[in-house]
Amino acid sequence: MSPPHRVVIVAFPGIELLDVTGPAEVFSVASRVAGPERPAYTVQIATADGGPVVTSSGVRLMADLTLDDVTGPVDTLLVAGAIELADGGGVEPVIDREVTHWLRHGTSRARRFGSICAGAHLLAAAGVLEGRPATTHWLTAGRLAAEHPSVRVDPDPIFIRDGQVWTCAGVTSGMDMALAMVAEDHGQDLALATARMMVMYVKRSGGQSQFSVPLSVQSVEDDRIDELRMWIAEHLTDDLSLEALAARTHLSVRHFTRLFQLRTSTTPAAYVEAVRVEAARRLLEDSDRSLPEVAAVSGLGSVETLHRAFRRRLGTTPAEYRRRF
C-alpha cells in the first residue's frame, strides 16, 4: 500500500480562511471517499512559529508544525494568500517576510507547489515563479505583473499549472485546483466522487474564466439595460439584432447603442456574441451534443459562425475546446 500524499499548507496572520480550509477539505474528503484501504492524503498547516494565526475573518487556525519543522519529503506545498485594504480604497496583497524567506528553499523539497489567491505574490517574491505563467486574484493581478515582470501573469483563468507549479485565482478556486490535483493523483473517478460529496461543480477546469459574461458587467443604474441583459441570457435563439433590442427597450437605435455602451463598456453586438459563446462553452463542456446542435441552441446559428466566434473570443476551435475541457 502506497503512503498517503503529504500536503502542507503554509499560513500566516491575515490569510483568507477559505484559502486554507477549502483545499484542505477537498483533500480530506477525497481521503474519506477513497477509504482506509486506499490512503489518499494527510494535510498539515504550517506557520512561522507553529502557533495559531488569526484569519481575515477573525477565525483562528491552529498550526500542526512550524515552517522549520517541515522536514522530509512533501508531496504538495501550498501557500495561502491575504489581501488588505490600501489607502485610497484599493487592495494590496500581504507579503509575509518570514514565509517568503522560507519559500526560497522550502519549495525545493516538494514534488509540486503552488499558491491560493494572493499567495502567488509570496511565490513571486521568493523568486520561484521566474519565467513561468501564473495567475492570482483578479484584484491584484495587475500589481503582480507590474512588480514581477518576469512572471507571465494571466488574470483570467481559475488556475494555471506549469509543470510542478500551480497557481490559482481567488478563494474558492483553490478548491477547484485541489480537485484537479486529486484527479491527477488518483484518477477522475475519485475526483468526481469527491466533488459530488462536496456538492461542487467538477467541470470548472483551470483554463476557464474567473468571470461569467453577465457577472463581468456591473449592475447598471438604468433598469432597462439590466433587465435586457437578463432577458438576453434567457432568449439566446431569439432575434437579438440591434434593432430588435432597441425596440424592446423602447429607445431609438442610436440612443440605445450609446446607453448600452455607457452602462456596459461594450457594444450590444459584442455582448450578445459573448453570451452566446459562453452558452456554447457550457454545452461543449457538459453535453455530447453535436456542433450543429450547439450552434443552434446557443443562438450562434451555424457551425461556421460558431467557429468564427470561438476563434475570435477564445483563440481556439469548438472541437479543441471540448477536448480540453
| Residue 2: per-residue pLDDT | 79
CATH code assigned at 280:
1.10.10.60
| Residue 201: per-residue pLDDT | 63
Q: What gap in Å lies between CA 214 and CA 204, rounded to an integer?
A: 17
Q: What gap in Å lies between CA 216 and CA 169, rounded to an integer?
A: 15
Residues 147 and 282 in one domain: no
Q: If you average pLDDT over residues 110-125, what whole number do you get?
A: 97
Domain assignment of residue 103, yes or no: yes
Residues 264 and 308 in one domain: yes
Q: What gap in Å lies between CA 1 and CA 101, rounded to an integer?
A: 36
Q: pLDDT tens digit string along 227-248? A: 898 899 889 999 999 999 999 9
Domain assignment of residue 255, yes or no: yes
Q: Which amino acid is at 37?
A: E
Domain assignment of residue 204, yes or no: no
5 within 8 A of 76, measured Cβ to Cβ: yes
| Residue 208: per-residue pLDDT | 59
Tell me how many degrees the CA angle 60-62-67 measures, rounded to the nearest 5: 120
Q: If you average pLDDT over residues 308-324, what whole number do you get?
A: 87
Q: Is 242 helix (H, G, I), strand (E, B) or coil?
A: helix
Q: pLDDT tens digit string along 36-69? A: 888 899 999 999 999 999 999 999 999 999 999 9
Q: Distance between the two ends of the chain, CA-based, in angstroms?
A: 32
For the chain, the average pLDDT equals 90
| Residue 286: per-residue pLDDT | 83
Grid coordinates given for 150: 518576469
Residues 258 and 130 in one domain: no
Query: Which domain, by its residues, includes 19?
Result: 5-198
CATH code assigned at 29:
3.40.50.880
| Residue 220: per-residue pLDDT | 43
Q: pLDDT tens digit string along 278-309? A: 899 989 988 899 999 999 999 999 999 999 99
Q: If you average pLDDT over residues 3-11, what whole number do you get?
A: 96
Residues 285 and 146 in one domain: no
Residues 188 and 218 in one domain: no
β-bridge mates for residue 85, sequence order: 91
Residues 49 and 153 in one domain: yes
Count of domains observed in the chain? 2
Residues 190 and 218 in one domain: no
Domain assignment of residue 182, yes or no: yes
Q: pLDDT tens digit string along 259-283? A: 998 888 889 999 999 999 989 998 9
